[in-house]
Structure 1
Amino acid sequence: MNDAGSAVLRLSGVSKSYNKGLPGEIHVLRGVDLTLAPGEVTALVAPSGAGKSTLLHIAGLLDTPDAGIVEIAGEDMTGRPDRRRTAVRREAVGFVYQFHHLLPEFTAVENIVLPQLANGATRAEAEDRARALLDSVGLAPRATHRPAALSGGEQQRVAFCRAMANAPRLLLADEPTGNLDPETSGRVFDALMTLVRETGLSALIATHNLELAARMDRQLHLDQGNLREG
């Protein structure tokens, strides 16, 4: 990773199409430019099918653009080998999805320990961090429960902690409260923002919820492949 003072995420001229060269070609992203500063929390607002998941996947190195540059913490990832992309994704990026995707056979604390073990932490270090994260979102008493014994809001809070497990610099969240009722959504979003603010990482959070979007530092709107602020 390069200078810690540089942008945590920078997209420059990022374009993505599907069915390229065919009559039904779909231009999902059209020359998107985006910069996230350290500690900045940004809402990505877009209707379903507008391409926000594609943008998040490209930003998180799960997909590649047809054109443009993706930089993570100052490192240009264009043309980087899969091994390096995987390492940067594991070390620097955390993901949260609408559905928690927790491993059902493991407890809450074990779900947060596993990505840390894959990143080289000792089990003792991983368990200490996992329990501290669960405590920060009010789930310390539920640490040894498996996902099936947790409510939807509790499961999503565990998913947030798992995304934070390796102390990423960038959090990407795709409709993280979209599967919850409004009251639970608000509580879960509060937990997410507490984690983000306490760790000082940058976050790009896709949401349909304009009330939640208004609580973030700024709003970006994706419409017909173009990104605009405001």
Structure 2
Amino acid sequence: MNDLTMRLNGLTKTYLKGTPGEVQVLRGVDLELRAGEAVALVAPSGAGKSTLLHIAGLLDKPDEGSVEIAGQNVAGRGDRTRTALRRQDVGFVYQFHHLLPEFTALENITLPQLANGVSEKAAQDRAMALLDRVGVAARAKHRPAALSGGEQQRVAFCRALANKPRVLLADEPTGNLDPETSDQVFGALMSLVRDAGLSALIATHNMDLAARMDRKLRLEAGVLKPVE
């Protein structure tokens, strides 16, 4: 598919602006993501990849530039609108799962849907379908503490996709796992991305995983460059 889901145009971000310690993290980032495409974002620690993901996901605002989702410039919208857009159109996955410990795997995936106005029955049905897709349906009634690291992260993937977002943003989603589990969990993530036909921007230090994606980009000196 060639549908454009997200466009980042001329993003800049400076911390401690106007001070001796000023740090310009982004210097004019441009990026287009299309439906069904998985893009690897590689960069050394401190290069600004988390800042870029937070701006793309409407968690932070750029100093300059635009964030377009489905053709609409959304970077400058108010907090309430940005929250609604983020809940509907963007899914997040982090290195650590951040599941709610007092709720089961099923409930962790159901709750975001309920907050988005989905009925409880429909939310539970979708949650079970997602858990089944990544091979952990049998663990649906278990709380995070009773799950392995790989199982926890699979549940986190399902939660990120619960509301059928247009874009998935992931920051080192397998960085906390051993190599064998990382490979298996990444395979489950890519399967979800392909099935849903969404766009994915995935930050990773693992070049073997990056090679399995459609494109590789490096954040270097505040701009994105293709990796051959």
What TM bracket, shorter-length normalisation? over 0.9
User: 2 CA distance for matches of 1:5 and 1:168?
Assistant: 17
User: 2 CA distance for matches of 1:133 and 1:113?
Assistant: 11
SS class of match (1:160)? helix
Task: Name the residue aligned to 1:142.
Answer: 139
5+ unaligned residues in a row in structure 2: which ranges? none
User: 1 CA distance for matches of 2:173 and 2:205?
Assistant: 10
Whether the aligned pair in 1 keeps the contact of 2:14 and 2:22 (CA below 8 Å) is yes
Whether the aligned pair in 2 keeps the contact of 1:6 and 1:74 (CA below 8 Å) is no
Is 103-112 or 82-91 further displaced after alignment?
82-91
Residues 95-135 of structure 1 deviation map (CA, whole Å, 9 limit, x = unaligned): 00000000000000000000000000011000000000000
5+ unaligned residues in a row in structure 1: which ranges? none
Residue 136 (structure 1) shift = 0.1
Q: Choose from 85, 88, 99 the match for 1:88.
A: 85
TM-score (norm 1): 0.97
- What amino acid sits opposite 1:85 in the alignment? R
User: 1 CA distance for matches of 2:150 and 2:82?
Assistant: 31
Are 1:38 and 2:35 matched, yes or no?
yes
- What amino acid sits opposite 1:149 in the alignment? A
Whether the aligned pair in 1 keeps the contact of 2:58 and 2:75 (CA below 8 Å) is no
User: 2 CA distance for matches of 1:5 and 1:219?
Assistant: 18
- What amino acid sits opposite 1:116 in the alignment? Q
Residues 147-187 of structure 1 deviation map (CA, whole Å, 9 limit, x = unaligned): 00000000000000000000001000000000001011000
Residue 5 (structure 1) shift = 7.0
Task: Name the residue aligned to 1:187.
Answer: 184
- What amino acid sits opposite 2:116 in the alignment? N
Residue 79 (structure 1) shift = 2.3
Task: Name the residue aligned to 1:68.
Answer: 65
Q: Choose from 45, 50, 54 the match for 1:48.
A: 45
Whether the aligned pair in 2 keeps the contact of 1:94 and 1:172 (CA below 8 Å) is yes
Residue 226 (structure 1) shift = 1.5
- What amino acid sits opposite 1:182 in the alignment? P
Are 1:165 and 2:162 matched, yes or no?
yes
User: 2 CA distance for matches of 1:58 and 1:73?
Assistant: 16
Residue 7 (structure 1) shift = 1.7
Residue 6 (structure 1) shift = 4.8
Runs of 4+ aligned residues of structure 1 deviating over 2 Å after TM superposition are: none
